[in-house]
Structure 1
Amino acid sequence: MSTSPETLVTAAGKFLLPEPGTVHTLAPGLRARAAAVLLRMALDMALDAYWLRVTPSMTRIGKHRMLCLEWYAGHDTARRCRTTWTSLSAACHYRSYELAPAPAEIRARLLEVTGLLVALASEDA
């Protein structure tokens, strides 16, 4: 079963802002971490789709695709991808000595990932 990055972003949004009347069985920090995982997956999928359009061999190694993005998609898009991916990666990792990510921080990343999905889909090499 395959899903789209947009579907993952929508699911992340439901974790961050559940519908009214929804019983909250998860703490806000845990919902924020789950949303961060979904958002990072969506960004990874969008990057894969971008590189499949531009040059399919670039999807093999994640580090290379992030390093080379600046020369293909432009400085601003590459910088936004790096910063967003790094902050989402940090939010995804559980460490017993750190607090869970703040829902407001992940909501800001949701908006950034939404913008990056549009930017990567419209970029042509």
Structure 2
Amino acid sequence: MTPLELLGHAQHLLDESSGATVGNSARLAAMMGRQALEQYVRARCAELNVDYDGRSMRTRLLILRSLDDVDNADRLASLWSQLSACCHQHAYELSPTVTEVRALCEGVIDSIAPRVTLSTPSPKTPA
């Protein structure tokens, strides 16, 4: 699943929370948004021929900052940090709201969409 597809599922989850996701849709969508961002960062590091295996996400984001677009890397680092905070539940904190997570997921879309192509497989033609 591509990062944009993951973000689409996160947006759908925020729009249509019902059944087992009621009350948890924002946190689940935040996890999907963070996963999409992490997939994009791994793919971008691979495009830049960077050995990222065994590196933390913070390190990968720093690599992007030094080898790629600084502003976009900073924006991704901020979004990753905020989404990570939404994913972790603490008894002394309120859960993230749907509106907050929607804004973060839209920020990820805005940051990666111009750089990602949503590849769709071409239909097979008979030989």
The TM-score, its normalising length taken from structure 2, stands at 0.81
1-side partners of 2:97 and 2:110: how far apart?
Answer: 20
Identity %: 28
Give the letter aligned to residue 4 of structure 2: E
Partner amino acid, structure 2, of 1:6: L
In the alignment, is residue 27 of structure 1 matched against residue 22 of structure 2? yes
CA distance in 2, matches of 1:6, 1:74: 20
CA–CA distance in structure 2, aligned partners of residues 58 and 120 of structure 1: 19
C-alpha spacing 1:59/1:43, structure 2 compared with 1 (3 Å): farther
Match of 1:61? 55
Superposition map of 1:66-85 within 5 A: 66-85=61-80
Structure 2: which 5+ residue stretches go unaligned?
Answer: 118-127
Query: Does residue 1:113 correspond to 2:108, yes or no?
Result: yes
Q: Deviations over 1:63-120 (max 9, x none)?
A: 3211122222222101101110000000000112211101111111111111122244
The runs of at least 4 consecutive aligned structure 1 residues that moved more than 6 Å come to none
Deviations 1:42-65 (A, max 9, x none): 000000110111023034312321
Q: Return the structure number with greater relative CO, CA threshold 8 A, min gap 6.
A: 1
Give the structure with the higher percent helix.
1
Task: Output the CA distance in 1 between the equivalents of 2:42 and 2:71.
Answer: 18
Query: Number of aligned pairs?
Result: 115
Larger radius of gyration: 2
Alignment RMSD, CA only? 1.8
Residues 120 and 51 (structure 1), Cα distance of their counterparts in 2 relative to 1, 3 Å cut:
farther
